[in-house]
Amino acid sequence: MKLVSLVMIAGLILLYFVDAALKIHIMNWEMLTHSALRFFTGFILIGIGVFYAHKIRLKSAVFLILVLVLADDIMDYYRKVNSFSFEDTLHGVYMLLWGSLMGYAFMKHSKDKADKQ
C-alpha cells in the first residue's frame, strides 16, 4: 500500500505543478472529464493490460488510446469546445502516464496481498 500511496501523492503534487505551469484550470466540469478519461484509460489499458497482465500489446493499447482521444476531440469539436492546444495535450499525456503508474502499482499491490493470504 505504500507504493500506491506514494504514486498517488507524488502524482497529485506533480499535477498541481503541471497545472500551474501550463495555466490549466482543472476544477471545471470539462477539464475534469478530460482528465478522468485519460487517467482511467492509462490506468486500465496501459497500467493493467500492458504492463501488469501482459494481455494487450503496447501497440494495440496505444492505438486504442489514440482512438479514444480522437473521439473525445471530435466530440468537443461538434460541441464547439476548443480544447485542442499544446498545453492540453501535455496535460493529457501526464494524466495517461500517471494513470498507467497507478494501475501498475495497484495491481502489484493487489497481487502481493492475494499471495500473502
Query: Residue 14: pLDDT above 70?
Result: yes
Give pTM, 2 decimals: 0.84
Helix axes 29-41, 58-78, angle to 10 degrees: 160
Q: Indicate the DSSP class of residue 48.
A: I
- Supply the pLDDT for residue 7: 93
How many domains is the chain built from? Answer: 1
The pLDDT tens digits of the residues spanning 61-115 come to: 889 888 888 888 788 888 877 767 788 888 888 999 999 999 999 998 988 888 8
Q: Average model confidence (pLDDT) for the chain?
A: 87
**Average pLDDT over every residue of 18-46:** 88
Give the structural domain span for 65. 2-116
